[in-house]
Amino acid sequence: MRQTLFGRLVPISSLILVAGTTALAQTVTISANGYLKMLVVDPIGRKIGYEPSSGKYYSDIPGVSIGAASIGLVSEEGPEDDPYEKDPIDVVFESIPGRHAITLYGTKLTSYDVNVIARHKGGGPTTNVASGGFIDSGMVFNFFFLYDPSSRAETALSKNVTVQDLRQQISAVHRLNLLGDKKLFDDWNKELDKIERDLSRKDSAKARQELDKFGKEVDKLRKETIKHEEKKVPKPSKFITQDAYQVIREDIDILLNQLPKK
């Protein structure tokens, strides 16, 4: 068990990837925790981890060194059915500068977090960036970061967000009872339907306007919820917790930044 970004304990189900030939001098560490599987793709398309579309576990990079019970495919007791829901896995391989993609595949309803630690050569900064949210079976979330070990600039972890990703987060927090009620959940999905229709018509300006309006509705609900929390009275039927608000607001902001203003 470990503590997530949101202060609650979840079973550790992590793939930890360490890129670099010199310990602590030029490495990138990626870890993901929660009930999920993770696939990492390096700048030239080599894969490490599990890809549901192919049903395969990948270890493409030559000289890869894997800790724990190998890559989880075989243990002393025999083949593992689901290694990424059991022990942490350490993966070490030679670093390649460039864009690294991280895909998380949910296997059960839970909170999750993903963390990247990037060390740079020549006394550059050590970057430690994290993101998180809520995930359920069948949900997929995508992240990426650009790694340049010779740069003194910090590495940034970015999340790709679509309207469907936002819909998935809302669904997960509703199922975890971090967002109520059913009518509110249905109304918010209708709002997302409008945004998707605008995007399908290539009216990104209208979609951005609707998304900004939706964000204000989320902000308003959080303010109303805080009032009830401060009074320490039973929460109303319509509410949103701080954890749920944090991840939904983050996804809205990322999506807003991706859409043109005009």
Q: Confidence class of residue 19 from pLDDT cuts 50, 70 and 90?
A: low
Q: What tens digit of pLDDT does each residue of 115-155 get? A: 887 776 666 666 777 899 999 999 999 999 888 877 777 77
User: Which residue in this structure is represented by tokens 């990492």?
Assistant: 40
Kindly state the tokens that stand for 230. Answer: 């401060």
Whole-number pLDDT of residue 193? 98
Please state, in angstroms and rounded to a whole number, the distance separating the CA atoms of residues 45 and 47: 6
For residue 181, say if its preceding peptide bond is cis, omega within 30 degrees of 0: yes
Return the residue matching tokens 């022990």. 87
Q: State the pLDDT at residue 2.
A: 40
pTM score of the predicted model: 0.82
Per the CB < 8 A criterion, the answer to whether 85 and 69 are in contact is no
pLDDT of residue 60: 86
pLDDT of residue 225: 95
pLDDT at 79: 38
pLDDT of residue 11: 41
pLDDT band of 70, cuts 50, 70, 90: very low
User: Which tokens sit at 219?
Assistant: 């902000």
Q: Is the pLDDT of residue 14 over 50?
A: no
Pairwise CA distance, residues 13 & 10, whole Å: 9
Q: CA 38 → CA 28, 77, 88, distances in Å?
A: 16, 24, 12
With cut-offs at 50, 70 and 90, classify the pLDDT of residue 76.
very low
pLDDT score of 238 more than 60: yes
CB 256 within 8 A of CB 211: yes
Across 93-105, b (16+ Cβ under 10 Å) vs e yields bebbbeebbbbbb
Residues 87-116 have pLDDT tens digits of: 344 555 566 789 999 999 999 999 998 888
6 confidence band (pLDDT: 50, 70, 90)? very low
